[in-house]
C-alpha cells in the first residue's frame, strides 16, 4: 500500500514549529533519564541560573552548547542525563523583597522572619520560574522531571549534612575577623563577590605630630574617615628616612590618642610619603600588621555604613559625609598638607553595588586550604578535571594555591539558615561573640546536645544568618543526584561528564564544586570543564546592565526563531572558549548573522520540500520497486560502491543475488562528501569544536547538497528519465537528506524534527532526538573523487561567470571549449561532460589538448590548468559588447587619473588623515585591477 505522499508547507514557520516540538518532547518525556537503560552514562548539570534572573546571551550560548553535546551523545547511544534547576540567589531575592517592602513603608523587621520567608516563597511560586520558562524557549533536551531548586527539601538536607560534617572535622569554625561588609545589603560578602573598579579619587596628606614635639610624620590615605580608628603609623624597616623614629609615638589628630610608630615590611616606601596610617579594624593589610604588632582594633563603623560611638564628634554620620567633614576638620586644625588627584581601585559589592567596607565581624568560615589541597592533588596527579581550552588549567590551579579561608555566613533571611543553635540562657538571653553553641542536623538534635551540656533549662536560638549561596551551589553536581543518600542516580551518573560554564565563575563556582566534591565524594565532580567565551556586543564590548548594551535573546527568538539564534551563536565560535561578537543593529533591532541562519533554515526547508516532492510518494521507510540492489539493504538506502575504478567511472554495486544497481558519478561524489562530513562533524564535537562542526555542516548542506547535488540530479527525476537512474537518485537523495537531518539535529533541533517526521511519516511515539547519529563509512570516502569534482564545479562556475560577464541571457545555450594538456584532467572533464553541459547551459562542448588556430572571438577564463573559452559569434552582438567594455574602461581610466593626481599631491599626502590617504591608495589599486581585467577582455575580442 502506497504511503501518504509526504509534503511540507511552502514556507517554514519557526514559531509554530518550535512551540509544537518543545511541547511534544516534554509531554512525552523523551529526555527522561533511566539508569536502568542501556548505554554508558553521559551526565551534565545545568549551571543553575539565579531564580531572579532573565535569559541573557551568556545563558543562550552556554545552554546551546550543552544541548548540542547532550543531543549528540544521546544519539550516539549514551545514557544521558541533563539535569536542570535554579539557584535561590540569596542576596538578590533578599534585596528585591526589601525594596518591595520599602515602597510599602516597611522593613523586614516589621514583618518578622517567618512572614518575610513566606513572602519570599510566595514570590518564588508566582514569579521565580520565569527564567525556567525563558530557557524552555531554547528547546533544551533536559530531564524536567528531575528539576531541582537549591532550597528544595533534598538539597537543603544535603547543605545541612555538609555543614555538620565540615564542622565536626574542624573545617568550619566561628571567629571574629575582618570581612568584606556590604552596607547596602548589611551582610558580609566573600572576596569573590567583590568587583574591583578603578575610580578617579583623591589622596589626602595629613600631619601626625610627634609626641616629643620634635616634628611630625606625613601620612597619605584614600579613606580619611578611617583615621578616627588609627592605632598606629607604619614605615618600612629599610627606609632610611624613618628608622630613627621607629618606637616613638605620634598624637592622632581629632581623637587626641597616642599611637606608636612601627616598622613592617608590608609598607611600600614608594607609596605617598612612605608612612602609612594603620587602622586594623578597617583595612585587610592593616589587620595583618595590627595582629603582628599587637595593636588595638577600634571599629568606628556601624553595619549600615554610618559611624559609631568610637568616631567621636562624627558619630551617626554616613561614611562618605564623615569623609568630607573629617577632611574639613583636619584642614581647620592645620593638619591637612595637600590633596592629590589619584586613580585607584575600590572594591564594590557585586550585589549591593556600593563600596564594601572592611569590617571586624564574627562570622562562620571554612578552612579552605585542606579542601583546596585535595583538588590540587587531583589536578596535578590525575589531570582532573580537564579544562577546555587548556589555558584555563593554570588559572584554576593558581587560584587553588592562593586560597584564603571562606566566609560562608550572610546576614540575610532568605537562604539556608546556619544549623547552629546558641545557648542564650548562658549569656542573659542574647547571642554574643562568647555565647556557646551546638551544631546539629535538626532543632531536636540540637536540643538533645545542648541539654547534655547545659542542663534541662537551656534556652536555644538558631543562628539567624544564612549560608553563602555558593555553599549550596558547590554541592550541586552530587546533591542533585541524591547525596548524602546512596541513590541509583548518584551511583550511575556521578561523576558527571562535562561542565559547561563561563570563565567568570571558575573561582565562584567551579573551584567550589571541585573542593566540595573532593572532600565529600573523594572524586572530582566532572571529567571535563568546557569554558566558553563571552558574547560581545556589536562593538566588541562586554554586555552589561551598567553599559546598557545588552541584547535580548528572546527578541532574537521572536524575530528569527530559536534554531536561527542557536545556530548563530555556535557557528560564530571560531575556537573552543573564544569570545564572539554579535552583529546587531540597535535602531532596527535586527541581526544580519541571525538572519543568515534563518535563511539557512529556509534553504534546508525548500531543499527538503523538493526532495519529498520527487520521491514518487515514497518515504525512507517504504519499499521502492523494483529494488535497486538485492543485498541486505534498507529501502532507500544507497547501494555501496566498490572496486578499483578509473577516474569518475561509475562502479557497480552487487547484491548477494547478483542484482546490479548503478551509482552514477554525482551519487558517488555526494556519498563521499556526506561520509566525510559525518566523520568531520563527529571529530569536531568529540573535541568540543562545535563552531567548526556547525560551519562544516552549513557548507555541506548549502553548497554540496543544495547547490550542487540537487541540481545535478534534477534531470534524472523527470518521469521520462531512465527509470533505474531515477530510482538511484531518489534513493540517494532520501538517504543523504535523512542523514543531514540527524547530523544537524543537535544544532537545530526543531526544524530537523519537523522535516524528519514529515519525510519518514513516523508516528508520535518516536523522535529524531532518539535516533542513531550517523556513522561514517570510510570505504565510501574518496578524496580523489572529491578533488575531481572540484575541477568539474570550477569549470561550471567559470563558464557561468563568463556568461555573466558577456551578458549572455540565462536561457541561451552556448558552445564551450575546454583545453588542457593533462590527460587526467581531460578524462575527468569527459566523464563529467553531461554535468557541465546541463548546469552551465552548454550545447556543444569540446574537450581538447590543443586549441585550433582559428576559433574566432571568444571570452576566456582559467580553472586549474584548464583554459575555458566561449565563442561569442552568433551568441551576442560582439561590437556592442566591445563598445560597452570600452565605455567602462574609459570611466575607470578617468578614476585612475583622478586618484593618482591626489596621491601625487604632496600636500594631500602630508595633511590628510592617514586613513583617508590609505583609502585612496586602496581605491586606486582596486580600480587599476578592474581596468586590467577589462583590457584583457578587450584583447580577447581582438
pLDDT (tens digit per residue) in 6-40:
688 999 999 999 999 999 999 999 999 999 999 99
pLDDT (tens digit per residue) in 576-586:
778 899 999 99
Amino acid 851: pLDDT: 78
The closest of 941, 800, 812, 795 to 868, measured between CA atoms, is: 795
Amino acid 620: pLDDT: 64
Q: How far apart are CA 125 and CA 131, in angstroms?
A: 12
Amino acid 4: pLDDT: 57
Amino acid 633: pLDDT: 37
Label residue 677 exposed, middle or buried (CB < 10 Å: 0-12, 13-18, 19+). Answer: buried
The answer to whether 25 and 766 have CB atoms below 8 angstroms apart is no
Conformational region of residue 560, where left means phi above 0, alpha means psi within -120 to 50, and beta covers everything else: alpha
Q: Give the angle 583-586-587 at the CA atoms, nearest 5°.
A: 135
Residue ranges in the chain modelled with pLDDT below 50: 1-3, 623-660
Query: pTM, whole model, 2 decimals?
Result: 0.85
Amino acid 5: pLDDT: 65
The answer to whether 573 and 691 have CB atoms below 8 angstroms apart is yes
C-alpha cell at 814: 552556448
C-alpha cell at 250: 605620634
Phi, psi of 508 (to 5 degrees): -55, -50
Q: How far apart are CA 587 and CA 55, in angstroms?
A: 22
Amino acid 860: pLDDT: 83
Long-range pairs, 691-696, Cβ under 8 A, ≥24: 691/570, 691/571, 691/572, 691/573, 691/574, 691/575, 691/578, 692/575, 693/747, 694/567, 694/570, 694/571, 694/747, 695/571
The C-alpha cell 596535578 sits at 380
The C-alpha cell 517592602 sits at 101
Amino acid 621: pLDDT: 59
Please give the biggest Cα pair distance in the chain: 120
Q: How far apart are CA 253 and CA 208, in angstroms?
A: 7
Amino acid at each position: 500500500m502506497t504511503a501518504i505522499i509526504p509534503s511540507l508547507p511552502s514556507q517554514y514557520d519557526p514559531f509554530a514549529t518550535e512551540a509544537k516540538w518543545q511541547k511534544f518532547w516534554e509531554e512525552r518525556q523523551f529526555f527522561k533519564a533511566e539508569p536502568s537503560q542501556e548505554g554508558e552514562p553521559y551526565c551534565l548539570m545545568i549551571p543553575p541560573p539565579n531564580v531572579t534572573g532573565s535569559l541573557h546571551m551568556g545563558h543562550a550560548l552556554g545552554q546551546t552548547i550543552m544541548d548540542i553535546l547532550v543531543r549528540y551523545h544521546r544519539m550516539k547511544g549514551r545514557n544521558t542525563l541533563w539535569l536542570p534547576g535554579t539557584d535561590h540567589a540569596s542576596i538578590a531575592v533578599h534585596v528585591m523583597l526589601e525594596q518591595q517592602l520599602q515602597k510599602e513603608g516597611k522593613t523586614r523587621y516589621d514583618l518578622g522572619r517567618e512572614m518575610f520567608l513566606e513572602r519570599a516563597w510566595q514570590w518564588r511560586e508566582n514569579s521565580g520560574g520565569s527564567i525556567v520558562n525563558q530557557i524552555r524557549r531554547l528547546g533544551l533536551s533536559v530531564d524536567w522531571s528531575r528539576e531541582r531548586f537549591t532550597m528544595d527539601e533534598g538539597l537543603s538536607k544535603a547543605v545541612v549534612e555538609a555543614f555538620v560534617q565540615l564542622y565536626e572535622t574542624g573545617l568550619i569554625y566561628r571567629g571574629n575577623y575582618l570581612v568584606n561588609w556590604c552596607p547596602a545589603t548589611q551582610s558580609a560578602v566573600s572576596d569573590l563577590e567583590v568587583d574591583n573598579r578603578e575610580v578617579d579619587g583623591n589622596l589626602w596628606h595629613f600631619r601626625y605630630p610627634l609626641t616629643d614635639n620634635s616634628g611630625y610624620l606625613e601620612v597619605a590615605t584614600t579613606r580619611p574617615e578611617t583615621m578616627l580608628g588609627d592605632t598606629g603609623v607604619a614605615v618600612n624597616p629599610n627606609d632610611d628616612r624613618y628608622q630613627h623614629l621607629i618606637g616613638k609615638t605620634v598624637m592622632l589628630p581629632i581623637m587626641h590618642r597616642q599611637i606608636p610608630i612601627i616598622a613592617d615590611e608590608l609598607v611600600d616606601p614608594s607609596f605617598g610619603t612612605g608612612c602609612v596610617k594603620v587602622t586594623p579594624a578597617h583595612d585587610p593589610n592593616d589587620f595583618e600588621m595590627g595582629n603582628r604588632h599587637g595593636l588595638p582594633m577600634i571599629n568606628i563603623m556601624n553595619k549600615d555604613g554610618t559611624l559609631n560611638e568610637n568616631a567621636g564628634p562624627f558619630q551617626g554620620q554616613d561614611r562618605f559625609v564623615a569623609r568630607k567633614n573629617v577632611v574639613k576638620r583636619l584642614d581647620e586644625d592645620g593638619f591637612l598638607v595637600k590633596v592629590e588627584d589619584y586613580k585607584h581601585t575600590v572594591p564594590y559589592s557585586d550585589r549591593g553595588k556600593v563600596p564594601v567596607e572592611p569590617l571586624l565581624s564574627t562570622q562562620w568560615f571554612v578552612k579552605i586550604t585542606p579542601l583546596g589541597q585535595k583538588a590540587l592533588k587531583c589536578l596535578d596527579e590525575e589531570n582532573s578535571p580537564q579544562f577546555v581550552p587548556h589555558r584555563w588549567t593554570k588559572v584554576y590551579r593558581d587560584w587553588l594555591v592562593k586560597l584564603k579561608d571562606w566566609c560562608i555566613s550572610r546576614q540575610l533571611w532568605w537562604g539556608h539558615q546556619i544549623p547552629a543553635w546558641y545557648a542564650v540562657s548562658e549569656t542573659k538571653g542574647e547571642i554574643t561573640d562568647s555565647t556557646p553553641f551546638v551544631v546539629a542536623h535538626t532543632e531536636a538534635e540540637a536540643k538533645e546536645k545542648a541539654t547534655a551540656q547545659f542542663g534541662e533549662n537551656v534556652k536555644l536560638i538558631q543562628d539567624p544568618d544564612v549560608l553563602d549561596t555558593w555553599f549550596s551551589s558547590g554541592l550541586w553536581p552530587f546533591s542533585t543526584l541524591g547525596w548524602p543518600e546512596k541513590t541509583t542516580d548518584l551511583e550511575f551518573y556521578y561523576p558527571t561528564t562535562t561542565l559547561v560554564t563561563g570563565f567568570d565563575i571558575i573561582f565562584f563556582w567551579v573551584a567550589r564544586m571541585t573542593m566540595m566534591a573532593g572532600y565529600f565524594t573523594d572524586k572530582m565532580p566532572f571529567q571535563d570543564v568546557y569554558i566558553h567565551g563571552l558574547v560581545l556586543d556589536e562593538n566588541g564590548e562586554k554586555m552589561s546592565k551598567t553599559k546598557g548594551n545588552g541584547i535580548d535573546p528572546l527578541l532574537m527568538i521572536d524575530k528569527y526563531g530559536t534554531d536561527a539564534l542557536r545556530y548563530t551563536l555556535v557557528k560564530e565560535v571560531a575556537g573552543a572558549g573564544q569570545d564572539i561578537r554579535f552583529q546587531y543593529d540597535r535602531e532596527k533591532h535586527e541581526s544580519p548573522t541571525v538572519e543568515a541562519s534563518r535563511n539557512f533554515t529556509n534553504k534546508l526547508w525548500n531543499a527538503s520540500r523538493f526532495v519529498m516532492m520527487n520521491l514518487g510518494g515514497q518515504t525512507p521507510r517504504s519499499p521502492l520497486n523494483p529494488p535497486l540492489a538485492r543485498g541486505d539493504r534498507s529501502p532507500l538506502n544507497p547501494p555501496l560502491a566498490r572496486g578499483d575504478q578509473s577516474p569518475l567511472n561509475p562502479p557497480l554495486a552487487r547484491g548477494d543475488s547478483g542484482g546490479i544497481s548503478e551509482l552514477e558519478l554525482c551519487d558517488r561524489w555526494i556519498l563521499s562528501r556526506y561520509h566525510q562530513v559525518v566523520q568531520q562533524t563527529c571529530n569536531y564535537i568529540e573535541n568540543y569544536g562545535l563552531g567548526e562542526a556547525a560551519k562544516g555542516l552549513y557548507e555541506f548542506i548549502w553548497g554540496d547538497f543544495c547547490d550542487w547535488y540537487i541540481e545535478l540530479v534534477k534531470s534524472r527525476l523527470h518521469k521520462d528519465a531512465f527509470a533505474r537512474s531515477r530510482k538511484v537518485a531518489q534513493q540517494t537523495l532520501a538517504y543523504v537528506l535523512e542523514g543531514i537531518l540527524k547530523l544537524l539535529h543537535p544544532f537545530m533541533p526543531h526544524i530537523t524534527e519537523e522535516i524528519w517526521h514529515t519525510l519518514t511519516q513516523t508516528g508520535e511515539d518516536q523522535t529524531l532526538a532518539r535516533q542513531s547519529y550517523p556513522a561514517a563509512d570510510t570505504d565510501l570516502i574518496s578524496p580523489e573523487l572529491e578533488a575531481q569534482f572540484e575541477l568539474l564545479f570550477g569549470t561550471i562556475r567559470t563558464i557561468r561567470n563568463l556568461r555573466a560577464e558577456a551578458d549572455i541571457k540565462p536561457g541561451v545555450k552556448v558552445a564551450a571549449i575546454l583545453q588542457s594538456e593533462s590527460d587526467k584532467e581531460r578524462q575527468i572533464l569527459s566523464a563529467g561532460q553531461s554535468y557541465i553541459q546541463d548546469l552551465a547551459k552548454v550545447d556543444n562542448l569540446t574537450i581538447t589538448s590543443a586549441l585550433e588556430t582559428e576559433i574566432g572571438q571568444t571570452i576566456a577564463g582559467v580553472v586549474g590548468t584548464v583554459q575555458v573559452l566561449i565563442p561569442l559569434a552568433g551568441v551576442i552582438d560582439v561590437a556592442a559588447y566591445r563598445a560597452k567594455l570600452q565605455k567602462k574602461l574609459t570611466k575607470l581610466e578617468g578614476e585612475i587619473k583622478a586618484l593618482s593626481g591626489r596621491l601625487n599631491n604632496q600636500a594631500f599626502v602630508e595633511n590628510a588623515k592617514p586613513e583617508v590617504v590609505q583609502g585612496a591608495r586602496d581605491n586606486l589599486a582596486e580600480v587599476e585591477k578592474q581596468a586590467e581585467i577589462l583590457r584583457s577582455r578587450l584583447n580577447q575580442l581582438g
